[in-house]
Amino acid sequence: MATVVKGLCQGCGICLQICPRKAISINSAQAVIDPQICDDCEECVFACPNGAISG
């Protein structure tokens, strides 16, 4: 399951825009993935410029 690595996320919001399921939100400048909505497509893993999401 795609997870945000704390400390690497810069809160840029790129993953929010790329997620086909709109499973990502930003809270306190950190991306948060809703596991109930995420279907593990891993598009966000490749989209994050900081390597902050591990698949």
Chain residues binding ligand SF4 by CB under 6 A are: 2, 4, 9-15, 19, 21, 23-24, 31, 33, 38-44, 48, 50, 52-53
Q: How far is residue 13 CA from its own chain's centroid? A: 8
Enter the tokens of residue 44: 């966000």
For ligand SF4, the closer of residues 28 and 31 by Cβ is: 31
Enter the tokens of residue 33: 């993935």
Least distance to ligand SF4 from the beta carbon of 7, Å? Answer: 11
Least distance to ligand SF4 from the beta carbon of 4, Å? Answer: 5
Residue 32 φ/ψ region, left for φ over 0, alpha for ψ in the -120 to 50 degree band, beta for the rest: beta
